[in-house]
Amino acid sequence: MMSNTSPSFQDGAGAPIREDLDAIAERSGRDMTAAYGRREFGRILRASLPLVALVPLFFLLTQLAYWRGGGDPRFLPALLVAALAIGLPLLFASLGSREARRTSFARSRALGEVDRQLALEGRLQAADDFVHRPLPTGFELAAIEDAGTKTESAKAAILSHRPAVIDWGRWSVVWAAVGVVSLLLLLWVGTFDVRRKFRPATLDTQLASMAGDVSESPDDESSDPVPAPELSLQLPLDTGTKAAQAPAIAEQAEASPDVSESVKESAGKTGAGRSSGALSSSSGSESRSTPSAQGQSSDPGEPEDKAKPKPKKKPTASPEDAAPEEKPEEEDSGSTAGKGSSKGSNKNPTASEWKSRDQVTESDDQDIEDDEEAEDDEESQESRGGVQPSLRDRRPPVSRDLQIGFGNRSDPDANGRGGPSEQKKSRGVASLVLGVPIPDRIKGRPGPGPTKITQERIEPQAEQPGGLEGAPRMERSNPTGPLSSLDLEPDLKALVRRYFLSRRAKP
């Protein structure tokens, strides 16, 4: 309800209220500035907390790298680094807090904060606004007087300004823990003499390993003069003064056996490997010639493919070992031979279905052999004038029978031109379409080849024309006799008759 007992606000009586508002605003602003400074201190401290962990870790890493590079580790300023790790966040936070304390809050906001904390519902703010108006209305005066009743309690109240609670979060704890561990590690490393404890042992082992490599290296060098083992011999002389080169020496010493092994491999490949390859190829040709001599239709390429790996896997294998592996091939060839198919019979155009199929399967695997024969065919064609078609494939004509393929399989002879194939190719249609190139079916020749032109040179000879003399036309000496009546059509006869009758009728 309205407060009827309000102080008088007449003739400058509002001055005490204004002073009270000033005092309240000043104190509130000061408290808010301090609270804001504290908040900023905590906020910046939280943001710079990772420095507690990062500074020692960075220091340790740099010293470790320096130590591995051969330098003397300098752990003496460990305490200084620890102080730096702790002091930097505090320094930053202090600077930020001092900067925040310079920030001044608006008067209205300071009074508004008091209103908020004392649940005055903006009375002090409104009164401070109305006090400065030149001619306050009755309601404004009432508002000022209403606020005057609250100023005493506002001045006496203890306000707690908490701008915003800083959420330290889990990461702050993690960073703090890592920082503590890093500092402890830094202090531990700085306390003990790491150089004495670790450095000699590692150096001795490296030198010992290098000495062992040097004793073994002459054998390797005799086989192949690789410069790496020489380095392994020279470097230990310098390691007495330069410890940084010890790891490098050890690495080179470890790398020297690999180098000798690589040299061995290269030497083996140049000599023995090449001869073994020659052996395998010769054996392969022998195995290929065997079924052809027997006249079987088995794949001649298979023995070649299977014979090649054998010398590589077992170069010293005895013929008894190779015999069981060739036995299945003989059984396969025997099975095909039992059906009566032979290579010579395949050249017969009237070969049976089985024979033509076998030949097709053979031709697919005879690419290498065909390439060699293609060159011979080309040479023979050139010698014959190039007019003969290529017969290097020696394929029989396509079977024209309309039988269905072998079982459910498609006909291997099917080339789309005829016979029981799936999809027929149109013949001659492409030539009717302008611009469609017609590929030449002769392999290896883009065009029909040179055509021999047989032409005889005939020299022109002059001819004497026969003499005919002109004479005037004489009378007929003999009567021509009765003319044979023209055998005209009845209509034409009637037409001629009408014509002459009409001529006679005219005067």
Partner 1 sequence: MSSSDADAARNDAQVFIDTFQAIKGEVSKMMVGQEEVIDGVLIALMAGGHVLLEGVPGLGKTMLVSSLGNALDLTFSRIQFTPDMMPADVRGTSVLVETEGGGHELQFEEGPIVANLVLADEINRATPKTQSALLEAMQERQVTVGKRTIKLAEPFCVMATQNPVEQEGTYPLPEAQLDRFLFKLVVGYPEEADYKEILRRTTGSFDVELKSVSKAKAVNKMRKIVRSVPVPEHVEDYAIKLVMATQPESRYAPRIVNEFVALGSSPRGAQALLLAGKVKALLAGRFAVAVEDLQSVALPVLRHRVLINFSGLSEGVNPEKVVSEVLGAVEARTGAKA
Please pick, from the candidates 77, 88, 92, 129, the single residue that binds partner 1 as defined by CB under 8 A: 129
From 5-13, 171-179, 224-232, 488-496, give the range in contact with partner 1 by CB under 8 A: 5-13
Q: How big is the site for partner 1, counted in residues (CB under 8 A)?
A: 36
**For the stretch 222-248, what's the b/e string if a residue is b when 16 or more beta carbons lie within 10 angstroms of its beta carbon?**
eeeebebbeebbebbeebeeebebbee
Q: Which amino acid is at 150?
A: K
Query: Interface with partner 1 includes 149 (CB under 8 A)?
Result: no
From 121-129, 188-196, 269-277, 392-400, give the range in contact with partner 1 by CB under 8 A: 121-129
- What distance in Å separates the CA atoms of residue 379 and residue 395, rounded to the nearest whole number? 19
Tokens of 317: 């294998």
Whether 41 and 97 have beta carbons less than 8 Å apart is answered as yes
Tokens of 251: 């690495």
Please pick, from the candidates 9, 41, 59, 175, the single residue that binds partner 1 as defined by CB under 8 A: 9
From 105-113, 329-337, 353-361, 425-433, give the range in contact with partner 1 by CB under 8 A: 105-113
Query: Interface with partner 1 includes 165 (CB under 8 A)?
Result: no
CA 461 to chain centre: 80
Which one, 141 or 176, has the nearer CB to partner 1?
Answer: 141
Which one, 14 or 311, has the nearer CB to partner 1?
Answer: 14
Please pick, from the candidates 137, 289, 292, 361, the single residue that binds partner 1 as defined by CB under 8 A: 137
Q: Binding marks (x or -) toward partner 1, 64..103, rule CB under 8 A?
A: ---------------------------------------x
Query: Interface with partner 1 includes 139 (CB under 8 A)?
Result: yes
Tokens of 198: 């670790």
Give the closest residue to 107 by CA, choosing from 23, 163, 40.
23
Which one, 8 or 426, has the nearer CB to partner 1?
Answer: 8
- What distance in Å separates the CA atoms of residue 305 and residue 365, rounded to the nearest whole number? 11
From 51-59, 141-149, 219-227, 232-240, give the range in contact with partner 1 by CB under 8 A: 141-149
From 118-126, 220-228, 356-364, 482-490, give the range in contact with partner 1 by CB under 8 A: 118-126
Please pick, from the candidates 76, 102, 135, 478, the single residue that binds partner 1 as defined by CB under 8 A: 135
From 72-80, 137-145, 365-373, 456-464, give the range in contact with partner 1 by CB under 8 A: 137-145
Please say whether the dihedral angle defined by the alpha carbons of residues 462, 463, 467 and 468, taken in this order, is positive or negative. Answer: negative
- The CA distances from residue 357 to 70, 304, 352, 463, in Å, are 77, 22, 9, 67
Whether 115 and 124 have beta carbons less than 8 Å apart is answered as yes
What's the CA dihedral at 489, 493, 496, 498 to 10 degrees? Answer: -130
Residue ranges of E strands in 387-503: none
Q: How far is the CB of 49 from partner 1 (least distance, A)?
A: 24
Query: Interface with partner 1 includes 142 (CB under 8 A)?
Result: yes
Helical pair 245-268 and 227-238, crossing angle rounded to 10 deg: 160
Whether 447 and 440 have beta carbons less than 8 Å apart is answered as yes
Which one, 120 or 249, has the nearer CB to partner 1?
Answer: 120
Which one, 109 or 199, has the nearer CB to partner 1?
Answer: 109
SS3 429: helix
Please pick, from the candidates 23, 95, 106, 387, the single residue that binds partner 1 as defined by CB under 8 A: 106
**Which residues, including other chains, have CB under 8 Å from residue 429's CB and lie 6 or more apart?**
none
Q: Binding marks (x or -) toward partner 1, 16..45, rule CB under 8 A?
A: --------------------x---------
Query: Interface with partner 1 includes 123 (CB under 8 A)?
Result: yes
Helical pair 107-118 and 138-156, crossing angle rounded to 10 deg: 70
Residues that bind partner 1 (CB under 8 A): 1-2, 4, 6, 8-11, 14, 36, 103-106, 108-109, 112, 121-123, 125-127, 129-130, 135-143, 145-146
